[in-house]
Amino acid sequence: MVISSAQEMGQQAAEQAANFGRKAGSKLARKAAGRMAKSIKKLVVTLIKKFLIAAVKFVVAIVGAEGIVFFLALLIFSAILMAIPFADWFLKGGERTQAEETADRQYEQQFRDLSAESVAAIDNEEASETWKATLKNIVIPSWAIPVSLVRYQISHSDEKITLPDPKEIFANLEPTFTYMTVTDDIEYTKTITSCYRVVQVRDSRGNVVKDSNGNPITTTVDDPPVKSVTSSKMPSRKILSKVEIPFGTTEIPSAKRYYPGGSYEPNDEWQLMGTSSVGRCTTTTYKRWEKTMVDDRGIPETGFDAEKFKEFLVSKGVKEQNLDEFFEYLKAADPDFPVELYAGEYQEGDSLYTNADYTYTGEIIDGWVWPIAIDYRGINSSFGPRWGKFHYGVDLGGRRWPNAPILAAKAGLVIWAGARGTYGNLVVIAHEDGLQTRYAHMSAITVKEGEQVKAGQQIGKQGSTGHVTGPHLHFEVAIPNKKNPMAPMSQAEKAFDPMIFLGPLQDK
């Protein structure tokens, strides 16, 4: 046991010695490797320093000390710029890549789609397609509002922002539709029953006439038709009565229509529904209806509330002191945005109407006169495409002639004299030959509806009311929409270039 123990102890001692040797060798190797790494690192640093010194000397020899200073200043300036949001856009000269522009359009299109979807319910109304399209244009939430909200957020953020979900920023812009329930519509049914009888033919003495075979001869006799008219209430249904947006209300008038024909006055027209025969009787059935529907004879008026619009924008994060800035974004995105919502006022002065202070003594050529009394007969903006839209008139006058007299270009009847949307203060004159002339943006009006005016008579004064960039006269000539003479010029039967009529007057 002693020997055995001694042997085991010897083996253990040998193993311990071997392990100690291995550890000692590893430690020595690590120390050697560390010394080598430090030497290599020192050598590399020395080489880099020498390379940089040589490079600087080379650059200085070429561009001079001033060039080095300029280069360092440029590096510092670039570093500062890159710390600013959208500095990459600035450094590219404000240009957008094709891919970025495509992404912008796709993002914008989402707002356009949401706007279109929000007024799709109007398509369900029984009305003319033109009226439905016009109503949509009136109440549709402008896609420019959410787009401008995004632009405002970007411009007032200290860093790049993630574009918000279009549905989230579009929230609360959707119009609300109110419907009225119609319960008094009536359906009328008329039946006319005609019967005939078979009778024997008799001679003048009352005897039955017989044929050669001795059989009585018969004929048919029509009985007087029996007419019957019944009425019943039609099932109740809903029709549109009001459309509301957060900052405006559009009341939808209704009217009774009489079908067939769809006239607004009662009539005795009937629609044939069919005939049926039983035995010797035939019954013919007709129907007509009294139906309450939306009145699509005119354009519904919208009452805009500029203060509510401002409150809406503030609730979306626009600071009140930045509202003017936001409106600039709106005008840039959508030139047709309702001008009433910018400030709630779109006519100048304390009073819309004023007395005439000008008398025309010039020449009338073919019934026409130049519609603004100034010493210049040039055109500021012509008839035709303009800024991606269609300009349905010509712009005359300008800042050089403040409150210049506006004249009736042709004798006629005043059918509108007042404020009207983007037209501002507007006069519309109907002429005997079927033409209509419109005079927009006036600072004051000197005529009233129903007044007969002569060619050259003053009807107002040049101004900048409505949606304008400065004072001028916007003048239009058209054959108007027959159903609605005050419909937008895009719906006119024919819009003319006014210079067809004013051209001969330019040199007079």
Name all domains of the chain by residue range, CATH numbers in brackets.
Answer: 94-181+241-253+295-344 (no CATH), 186-233+254-293 (no CATH), 384-505 (2.70.70.10)
Lowest mean pLDDT among 93-97, 353-357, 370-374: 93-97
For residue 90, what is the DSSP state? H
pLDDT > 50? residue 348: no
pTM to 2 decimal places: 0.49
Arithmetic mean of pLDDT, 184-212: 92
Q: Which residues of 11-41 are buried (b: 16+ CB within 10 A; e: fewer)?
A: eeeeeeeeeeeeeeeeeeeeeeeeeeeeeee
For the chain, the helix, strand and coil percentages under 3-state DSSP, each to the nearest 5: 35, 30, 35
| Residues written for the chain | 508
pLDDT > 70? residue 6: no
Name the helix (H) or strand (E) containing 390. strand 389-391
- What is the overall mean pLDDT for the chain? 81
Q: How confident is the model at residue 39 (pLDDT cuts 50, 70, 90)?
A: low
Distance, in Å, from the CA atom of 436 to the CA atom of 409, rounded to the nearest integer, reads 10
Distance, in Å, from the CA atom of 464 to the CA atom of 461, rounded to the nearest integer, reads 10
**pLDDT higher for 87 or 430?**
430
Lowest mean pLDDT among 18-27, 103-112, 157-166, 387-396: 18-27
What DSSP letter does each residue of 133-199 carry, written as one string? Answer: HHHHHHHSPPTHHHHHHHHHHHHT-SS--PPPPHHHHHTT-S-EEEEEEE---EEEEEEEEEEEEEE
Distance, in Å, from the CA atom of 453 to the CA atom of 299, rounded to the nearest integer, reads 26
**Does the bond joining 504 to the residue before it have cis omega, within 30 degrees of 0?**
no
pLDDT > 90? residue 20: no
Residue-level pLDDT at 448? 92
What residues form DSSP beta bridges with 229? Answer: 190
Arithmetic mean of pLDDT, 203-225: 90
Distance, in Å, from the CA atom of 236 to the CA atom of 219, rounded to the nearest integer, reads 51
Arithmetic mean of pLDDT, 219-246: 93
**Range with top average pLDDT, 116-125, 167-176, 325-334, 371-380:** 116-125
- Can you read off the two tokens belonging to residue 284? 């013919």
Residue-level pLDDT at 66? 64
Q: Residue 20 in 3-state DSSP? A: helix
Contact between 368 and 501 under an 8 Å Cβ cutoff? The reply is yes
Q: How confident is the model at residue 485 (pLDDT cuts 50, 70, 90)?
A: very high
Distance, in Å, from the CA atom of 486 to the CA atom of 415, rounded to the nearest integer, reads 9
Distance, in Å, from the CA atom of 283 to the CA atom of 275, rounded to the nearest integer, reads 6
Query: Which residues 6+ apart lie within 8 Å of 227 measured at CB?
Result: 190, 191, 192
pLDDT > 90? residue 170: no
Q: Which of 259, 298, 240, 263 is nearest to 119 (CA)?
A: 240
Residue-level pLDDT at 325? 72
Sign of the torsion angle spanned by Cα atoms 85, 88, 94, 99: negative
**pLDDT higher for 64 or 222?**
222
pLDDT > 50? residue 508: yes
| Single-letter residue type at 321 | Q
φ, ψ dihedrals at 505, nearest 5° = -95, -10
Query: Which residues 6+ apart lie within 8 Å of 184 measured at CB?
Result: 233, 292
Kindly state the percentage of the chain with pLDDT values over 70.
75
Distance, in Å, from the CA atom of 468 to the CA atom of 337, rounded to the nearest integer, reads 12
Q: Residue 227 in 3-state DSSP? A: strand
φ, ψ dihedrals at 75, nearest 5° = -65, -45
Lowest mean pLDDT among 349-353, 382-386, 418-422: 349-353
415-426 tens-digit pLDDT: 999 988 888 899
Number of neighbouring beta carbons within 10 Å of residue 126: 14
Distance, in Å, from the CA atom of 293 to the CA atom of 255, rounded to the nearest integer, reads 6
461-479 tens-digit pLDDT: 998 888 776 688 999 999 9
Arithmetic mean of pLDDT, 26-36: 50
Residue-level pLDDT at 21? 45
Contact between 347 and 439 under an 8 Å Cβ cutoff? The reply is no
274-321 tens-digit pLDDT: 999 999 999 999 999 999 999 988 777 777 787 888 888 888 888 887
pLDDT > 80? residue 85: no
Number of neighbouring beta carbons within 10 Å of residue 201: 13
Number of neighbouring beta carbons within 10 Å of residue 1: 5
Distance, in Å, from the CA atom of 125 to the CA atom of 119, rounded to the nearest integer, reads 12
Kindly state the percentage of the chain with pLDDT values over 90.
40
Q: Which residues of 329-357 are buried (b: 16+ CB within 10 A; e: fewer)?
A: bbbebeeebbbbbbeeebbbeeebeeeee
Arithmetic mean of pLDDT, 87-114: 69
> Which strand ranges, in their side-by-side order, compose the sheet holding 237-245?
176-182, 237-245, 248-251, 302-304
